Amino acid sequence: MGADRLLLLCLALALFAAAAAQRTNPPPRVVSVGALFTYDSTIGRAARLAIELAVDDVNADRAVLAGTTLNLISQDTNCSGFLGTIEALQLMEKNVVAVIGPQSSGIGHVISHVVNELHVPLLSFAATDPTLSASEYPYFLRSTISDYFEMHAVASIIDYYQWKEVTAIFVDDDYGRGGVSVLGDALGAKRARISHKAAIPPNSDTDLINDVLFRANMMESRVFVVHVNPDAGMRIFALANKLQMMGAGYVWIVTDWLAAVLDSSGAGDLKDMSYIQGLIVLRQHTPDSDAKKKFIAKWNNAANNRSIASGLNSYGFYAYDSVWVVARAINEYLNSGQQITFSADPRLHKSNRSTLRLSNLKIFDGGDQLLQQLLLTNMTGLTGLVQFNADRNLVRPAYDILNIGGTGSRLIGYWSNYSGLSVAAPEILYRKPPNTSTSAQQLHSVVWPGDTTTKPRGWVFPNNGQPLRVGVPNKPSFRELVSVGKGPDNVTGYSVDIFNAAIKLLPYPVPCQFITIGDGSKNPNYDDIISRIATNALDAAVGDFAIVRNRTKIAEFTQPYIEAGLVIVAPVRKANSNAWAFFKPFTLEMWCVTGTLFIFVGVVVWILEHRTNEEFRGSPRRQVLTIFWFSFSTMFFAHKHRECSWAFCADHMVVCRADHQFKLHC
């Protein structure tokens, strides 16, 4: 009983100490959070209302920040780096613990230096520049998808349709340059490349944009990737339409800015829908859910009550989730016993000669702890799973791939970092093993510019390019193969027809200029024509050129297209067959040498054997017959002796040598 009472007493003391500590350090009644974005912009109009609705939902939720009110302080950056910096400094004077925004990548670079100094986490829902890295800006977090993944999605689409060269049209600022740099690397991994970069300076007028598009149209690529700002990007297509760049044969792949414009505009608001038919557009993928449907209905009702003409786009979802990420992180921060305090920055002091109140900028003492709570975020929001990886990017980046047609768009597939291109939603593929094989990449059919379903080639011969210089021999002989008429382009013949047929098989048009060599009265020097290719005076040559050794050292030849085969030149005469035909393989001299050798063998054997072997004795006539018989019988019989003597060995050696010589010649 004594032990039980002691345990109860300890628990009571612990609860009393916790209650006393809570009374000593009560949670703050108000926590201020800043927001930086451009109010009057495609992204800002959707994000502003979404952020305000999120703050209302957080304050109405008893499970988050109980007893503490989340106070939102918004500042308008006006799409200006300078004004954005001033607004950020004014925001920091109000002792905010975190900042949501900005929407501009360029302003994000500047403000990140401010929050790094004051230890205030910066959570951006629209700054997609991949160069905004955590290594350089440790207090910067991206609550939307980085352009690093979007450019890999673009590269996957280009590789899917087997295009090898693209033209990048981009705004010449941090946002545009950062995205195009990643696009170049992503295309290089797919064995493709950016053949031309068309940079448009910020705030360019119509004439400057028209000049940039005109130069891009002079290049060979007909695949254009457009990565610009949403508020000025539609002018590009209007000008491209005047330059006849929106017709058949062209390919336009547009990043997510156009999807934000289309989603924010009503069905009858866009007057330029006819200019953008057949475009491929990317949009951040947000999975369907009941919470998303309820938020869309709430946002639309609030927009109607406030007379907001602009619609909701995907950036509004990310802005809403960003508020909840900050609220949950602050809740965990306060529950761990931390206090919200600020201290003066010793490097910022008041100057008597300056009206800038730099001393009012305070360092958030708990900035590091709050940043760690943000990095530990693991929640499901309107945009799906909200969780950060080691690079402080969202763990499941995915895009919808849209095809513009009629008065709207059609979904033709998805891209995710998990399985690449697919016609199935990414949340379905997450339940399966990843499959990025070429056979698994799929998209639905596309209606391309010009209202055609045939995949464009994506390449034409540039208007400022040189035609292919093809040398043709002008000669009087074999005119069936090459024949030159009155004009230089009036070239006909079997070889020319084959060349023209091969040119038509190429997946892009190649203009050719035939250059005749020779006066037509005598054959030109073919070695001289081949040498002109080696010296780059000609790009190719067409004619009845023989493939000989010295020519193959300086030029490449096609496979012969006229059947020749192996030819043996021999006199034609009637072959008579008779019984003595077996004598024909050897000449008369060879037969004489062979016969002499056999007789020599027989004589040698007779000299060695006639003293001891009775078969080699007798009358001279018999001995001569024995010598001839033994000489020719060595080819068919193996002669044996009953004893091995030096005479037998010599006899055997001679016979074997003779037999070997005969076999060599037969």
| Three-state SS at 438 | helix
Residues 6+ apart with CB under 8 A from 430: 396, 418
Q: What is the pLDDT of residues 226-243, one digit of tens each?
A: 999 988 888 999 999 999
Q: What is the pLDDT of residues 591-642, one digit of tens each?
A: 888 888 888 888 888 888 877 777 777 788 888 888 778 777 766 666 655 4
- Work out the average pLDDT over 166-191: 95
- Reply yes or no on whether the pLDDT at 654 is more than 80: no
- In this prediction, residue 507 carries a pLDDT of 66
- In this prediction, residue 10 carries a pLDDT of 63
- Work out the average pLDDT over 233-258: 93
Please indicate whether residue 659 or residue 369 has the higher confidence score (pLDDT): 369
Parallel/antiparallel/unpaired status of strands 165-171 and 223-227: parallel
CATH superfamily ID and name for 147-284+395-440: Response regulator (3.40.50.2300)
**In what helix (H) or strand (E) does residue 627 lie, and over which residues does it extend?**
helix 620-633
- In this prediction, residue 547 carries a pLDDT of 87
- Work out the average pLDDT over 145-158: 96
- Reply yes or no on whether the pLDDT at 383 is more than 50: yes
Q: Confirm whether 30-143+304-387 and 147-284+395-440 share one CATH topology.
A: yes
Lowest mean pLDDT among 145-149, 182-186, 541-545: 541-545
92, 120 Cβ separation under 8 angstroms: yes
Parallel/antiparallel/unpaired status of strands 342-344 and 362-364: antiparallel
* pTM, entire model: 0.72
140, 108 Cβ separation under 8 angstroms: yes
- Work out the average pLDDT over 421-444: 92
Distance, CA of 268 to CA of 271 (rounded, Å): 7
What mean pLDDT, rounded, does the chain reach? 85
Tell the burial category of 646 from Cβ atoms under 10 Å away from its Cβ (0-12, 13-18, 19+).
exposed
- Reply yes or no on whether the pLDDT at 76 is more than 80: yes
394, 387 Cβ separation under 8 angstroms: yes
Nearest to 125 by CA among 86, 92, 98: 98
- Work out the average pLDDT over 442-450: 94
- In this prediction, residue 351 carries a pLDDT of 54
Which residue type does 135 have? S
Domain map (residue ranges) of the chain: 30-143+304-387, 147-284+395-440, 468-541
Q: Quote the strand ranges of 179-330, DSSP E.
A: 193-200, 223-227, 251-254, 280-284
- In degrees, rounded to 5, the angle at the alpha carbon of residue 402 between the alpha carbons of residues 168 and 175 is 35
- In degrees, rounded to 5, the angle at the alpha carbon of residue 618 between the alpha carbons of residues 614 and 620 is 135
- Reply yes or no on whether the pLDDT at 168 is more than 90: yes
- In this prediction, residue 82 carries a pLDDT of 84
Q: What is the CATH number of domain 30-143+304-387?
A: 3.40.50.2300
Lowest mean pLDDT among 83-92, 156-165, 262-271, 396-405: 262-271
- Reply yes or no on whether the pLDDT at 5 is more than 70: no
